[in-house]
Amino acid sequence: MTASDLARRIDHTLLKPEAGLADVRRFLTEARQFPFASVCIGPRWVAVAREVLEGSGILVCSVAGFPQGISKPSVKTIEAILAIKEGADEIDIVAHLPPLVAGDADAVKAELLEIVRGARAARPDVVIKVIVESALLMQLPPDKSESAIAAACRAVRESGCDFIKTSTGFHPAGGASVAAVALMRKHAGGIKVKAAGGIRDRAAAEAMLAAGADRLGMSSSLAMLAEIATD
Protein backbone atom coordinates (compact mmCIF):
# COMPACT_ATOMS: atom_id res chain seq x y z
CA MET A 1 0.00 0.00 0.00
CA THR A 2 1.46 3.37 -1.02
CA ALA A 3 1.53 6.43 1.20
CA SER A 4 -1.26 8.03 -0.84
CA ASP A 5 -3.40 4.89 -0.73
CA LEU A 6 -3.05 4.71 3.04
CA ALA A 7 -3.68 8.45 3.49
CA ARG A 8 -7.07 8.08 1.78
CA ARG A 9 -8.13 5.79 4.64
CA ILE A 10 -6.96 8.13 7.43
CA ASP A 11 -8.69 10.83 9.48
CA HIS A 12 -5.57 12.85 10.36
CA THR A 13 -6.26 13.90 13.95
CA LEU A 14 -5.42 16.71 16.33
CA LEU A 15 -7.56 16.66 19.47
CA LYS A 16 -5.02 17.58 22.14
CA PRO A 17 -6.73 20.07 24.46
CA GLU A 18 -3.57 22.19 24.68
CA ALA A 19 -3.35 22.75 20.90
CA GLY A 20 -3.65 26.47 20.11
CA LEU A 21 -4.37 28.35 16.89
CA ALA A 22 -0.76 28.27 15.71
CA ASP A 23 -0.59 24.50 16.33
CA VAL A 24 -3.85 23.94 14.46
CA ARG A 25 -2.83 26.06 11.47
CA ARG A 26 0.51 24.24 11.23
CA PHE A 27 -1.23 20.87 11.50
CA LEU A 28 -3.72 21.77 8.75
CA THR A 29 -1.08 23.19 6.44
CA GLU A 30 1.06 20.07 6.85
CA ALA A 31 -1.99 17.86 6.21
CA ARG A 32 -2.17 19.15 2.63
CA GLN A 33 0.93 17.05 1.83
CA PHE A 34 -1.21 13.89 1.59
CA PRO A 35 -4.75 13.10 0.32
CA PHE A 36 -6.23 12.32 3.75
CA ALA A 37 -9.87 11.28 3.96
CA SER A 38 -10.33 14.04 6.53
CA VAL A 39 -8.73 16.00 9.31
CA CYS A 40 -10.37 15.58 12.70
CA ILE A 41 -10.17 18.64 14.94
CA GLY A 42 -12.05 20.13 17.90
CA PRO A 43 -15.23 22.14 17.28
CA ARG A 44 -13.43 25.39 18.09
CA TRP A 45 -11.25 24.96 14.98
CA VAL A 46 -13.75 23.91 12.31
CA ALA A 47 -13.95 27.29 10.60
CA VAL A 48 -10.14 27.53 10.55
CA ALA A 49 -9.92 24.06 8.98
CA ARG A 50 -12.50 24.98 6.35
CA GLU A 51 -10.40 28.02 5.41
CA VAL A 52 -6.97 26.34 5.37
CA LEU A 53 -8.12 23.19 3.54
CA GLU A 54 -10.13 25.01 0.86
CA GLY A 55 -9.55 23.32 -2.49
CA SER A 56 -7.55 20.42 -1.02
CA GLY A 57 -10.28 17.78 -1.28
CA ILE A 58 -9.70 16.87 2.39
CA LEU A 59 -12.90 16.73 4.43
CA VAL A 60 -13.32 18.44 7.81
CA CYS A 61 -14.32 16.19 10.72
CA SER A 62 -15.13 17.34 14.25
CA VAL A 63 -16.41 15.81 17.48
CA ALA A 64 -19.42 16.00 19.80
CA GLY A 65 -19.61 14.87 23.43
CA PHE A 66 -15.85 14.43 23.34
CA PRO A 67 -14.14 12.69 25.07
CA GLN A 68 -16.37 11.31 27.84
CA GLY A 69 -19.79 11.13 26.19
CA ILE A 70 -21.57 12.27 29.36
CA SER A 71 -23.27 15.36 27.91
CA LYS A 72 -27.01 15.17 27.39
CA PRO A 73 -28.07 14.22 23.86
CA SER A 74 -29.42 17.75 23.33
CA VAL A 75 -25.99 19.19 24.11
CA LYS A 76 -24.27 16.77 21.72
CA THR A 77 -26.84 17.75 19.10
CA ILE A 78 -26.07 21.43 19.53
CA GLU A 79 -22.33 20.73 19.27
CA ALA A 80 -22.88 18.77 16.08
CA ILE A 81 -25.11 21.42 14.51
CA LEU A 82 -22.72 24.26 15.31
CA ALA A 83 -19.79 22.33 13.82
CA ILE A 84 -21.80 21.53 10.69
CA LYS A 85 -22.84 25.17 10.25
CA GLU A 86 -19.18 26.20 10.48
CA GLY A 87 -18.21 23.73 7.76
CA ALA A 88 -17.82 20.22 9.20
CA ASP A 89 -18.43 17.41 6.71
CA GLU A 90 -18.26 14.66 9.34
CA ILE A 91 -19.05 14.42 13.06
CA ASP A 92 -17.64 11.83 15.48
CA ILE A 93 -20.03 11.46 18.45
CA VAL A 94 -19.06 9.87 21.76
CA ALA A 95 -21.97 7.67 22.84
CA HIS A 96 -23.03 7.46 26.49
CA LEU A 97 -21.03 4.55 27.90
CA PRO A 98 -23.29 2.92 30.55
CA PRO A 99 -25.88 1.61 28.06
CA LEU A 100 -23.06 0.44 25.80
CA VAL A 101 -21.55 -1.58 28.65
CA ALA A 102 -25.01 -2.98 29.44
CA GLY A 103 -25.55 -3.96 25.81
CA ASP A 104 -28.71 -1.83 25.74
CA ALA A 105 -29.05 -1.16 22.02
CA ASP A 106 -32.40 0.60 22.42
CA ALA A 107 -31.01 3.19 24.85
CA VAL A 108 -27.99 3.84 22.63
CA LYS A 109 -30.24 4.11 19.58
CA ALA A 110 -32.57 6.58 21.32
CA GLU A 111 -29.68 8.94 22.08
CA LEU A 112 -28.27 8.66 18.58
CA LEU A 113 -31.61 9.25 16.88
CA GLU A 114 -31.98 12.59 18.65
CA ILE A 115 -28.53 13.68 17.53
CA VAL A 116 -28.97 12.39 13.98
CA ARG A 117 -32.26 14.25 13.53
CA GLY A 118 -30.66 17.56 14.47
CA ALA A 119 -27.44 17.01 12.53
CA ARG A 120 -29.16 15.86 9.35
CA ALA A 121 -31.61 18.77 9.53
CA ALA A 122 -28.55 21.03 9.39
CA ARG A 123 -26.91 19.04 6.59
CA PRO A 124 -28.56 15.91 5.14
CA ASP A 125 -25.33 14.40 3.82
CA VAL A 126 -23.20 14.85 6.95
CA VAL A 127 -21.29 11.67 7.84
CA ILE A 128 -21.83 10.58 11.45
CA LYS A 129 -19.46 8.26 13.30
CA VAL A 130 -20.19 6.88 16.77
CA ILE A 131 -17.39 6.26 19.29
CA VAL A 132 -18.12 3.34 21.64
CA GLU A 133 -14.82 2.86 23.57
CA SER A 134 -14.43 -0.71 22.39
CA ALA A 135 -11.46 -1.32 24.71
CA LEU A 136 -13.83 -0.92 27.66
CA LEU A 137 -16.36 -3.29 26.08
CA MET A 138 -13.61 -5.83 25.38
CA GLN A 139 -12.86 -5.96 29.12
CA LEU A 140 -16.24 -7.63 29.69
CA PRO A 141 -16.39 -11.45 29.76
CA PRO A 142 -15.97 -12.77 26.19
CA ASP A 143 -19.64 -13.61 25.62
CA LYS A 144 -20.73 -10.21 26.96
CA SER A 145 -18.07 -8.26 25.08
CA GLU A 146 -19.20 -9.58 21.73
CA SER A 147 -22.87 -9.05 22.54
CA ALA A 148 -22.13 -5.48 23.68
CA ILE A 149 -20.32 -4.71 20.43
CA ALA A 150 -23.09 -6.37 18.44
CA ALA A 151 -25.67 -4.22 20.27
CA ALA A 152 -23.60 -1.10 19.64
CA CYS A 153 -23.40 -1.92 15.93
CA ARG A 154 -27.17 -2.43 15.79
CA ALA A 155 -27.84 0.88 17.51
CA VAL A 156 -25.49 2.75 15.18
CA ARG A 157 -26.96 1.08 12.12
CA GLU A 158 -30.62 1.51 13.08
CA SER A 159 -30.18 5.16 14.05
CA GLY A 160 -28.93 5.99 10.56
CA CYS A 161 -25.32 6.70 11.45
CA ASP A 162 -22.54 5.83 9.02
CA PHE A 163 -19.64 4.46 11.09
CA ILE A 164 -18.98 2.75 14.37
CA LYS A 165 -15.64 3.89 15.81
CA THR A 166 -13.50 2.13 18.38
CA SER A 167 -12.15 4.84 20.67
CA THR A 168 -11.54 8.44 21.59
CA GLY A 169 -7.93 7.68 22.46
CA PHE A 170 -8.49 9.30 25.87
CA HIS A 171 -10.16 6.47 27.83
CA PRO A 172 -7.91 4.63 30.34
CA ALA A 173 -9.15 1.26 29.02
CA GLY A 174 -7.15 1.87 25.86
CA GLY A 175 -7.68 2.34 22.15
CA ALA A 176 -8.30 0.22 19.09
CA SER A 177 -7.47 -3.47 18.91
CA VAL A 178 -7.52 -5.91 16.03
CA ALA A 179 -9.94 -8.13 17.97
CA ALA A 180 -12.42 -5.31 18.52
CA VAL A 181 -12.24 -4.20 14.89
CA ALA A 182 -12.86 -7.79 13.76
CA LEU A 183 -15.95 -8.02 15.98
CA MET A 184 -17.24 -4.70 14.68
CA ARG A 185 -16.77 -5.87 11.11
CA LYS A 186 -18.59 -9.11 11.95
CA HIS A 187 -21.64 -7.25 13.29
CA ALA A 188 -21.49 -4.01 11.29
CA GLY A 189 -24.01 -4.88 8.62
CA GLY A 190 -24.33 -1.84 6.38
CA ILE A 191 -22.22 0.56 8.45
CA LYS A 192 -18.49 1.21 8.21
CA VAL A 193 -15.82 0.75 10.88
CA LYS A 194 -13.28 3.32 12.05
CA ALA A 195 -10.33 2.23 14.18
CA ALA A 196 -8.75 4.93 16.33
CA GLY A 197 -6.68 5.17 19.48
CA GLY A 198 -3.07 4.02 19.74
CA ILE A 199 -2.43 3.41 16.02
CA ARG A 200 1.06 4.81 15.62
CA ASP A 201 2.85 2.94 12.84
CA ARG A 202 2.41 1.22 9.49
CA ALA A 203 2.16 -2.28 10.95
CA ALA A 204 -0.67 -1.30 13.31
CA ALA A 205 -2.46 0.66 10.59
CA GLU A 206 -2.33 -2.20 8.09
CA ALA A 207 -3.42 -4.71 10.77
CA MET A 208 -6.52 -2.64 11.51
CA LEU A 209 -7.37 -2.40 7.83
CA ALA A 210 -6.86 -6.15 7.40
CA ALA A 211 -9.20 -6.78 10.35
CA GLY A 212 -11.95 -4.82 8.61
CA ALA A 213 -11.49 -1.12 9.34
CA ASP A 214 -12.64 1.23 6.59
CA ARG A 215 -11.07 4.32 8.15
CA LEU A 216 -8.28 4.99 10.64
CA GLY A 217 -7.99 7.82 13.16
CA MET A 218 -4.33 8.75 13.65
CA SER A 219 -2.36 11.67 15.06
CA SER A 220 1.04 10.32 13.94
CA SER A 221 0.01 10.05 10.29
CA LEU A 222 2.53 12.47 8.78
CA ALA A 223 5.63 10.79 10.16
CA MET A 224 4.36 7.36 9.14
CA LEU A 225 3.40 8.41 5.61
CA ALA A 226 6.62 10.34 5.06
CA GLU A 227 8.57 7.20 5.97
CA ILE A 228 6.49 5.07 3.58
CA ALA A 229 6.92 7.62 0.78
CA THR A 230 10.71 7.36 1.02
CA ASP A 231 10.84 3.55 1.06
So which residues are the catalytic ones? 92, 165, 194
Count other C-beta atoms under 10 Å from residue 226's C-beta: 12
Among 85, 107, 87, 83, which residue's Cα sits nearest to residue 97? 107
Q: Rounded to 5 degrees, what are φ and ψ at 26? A: -65, -45
- Determine contact, residues 2/228, Cβ cutoff 8 Å: yes
DSSP state of 53: T
- Cα angle 39, 123, 63 (rounded to 5 degrees) comes to 35
User: Which residues pair with residue 39 across a beta bridge?
Assistant: 12, 60
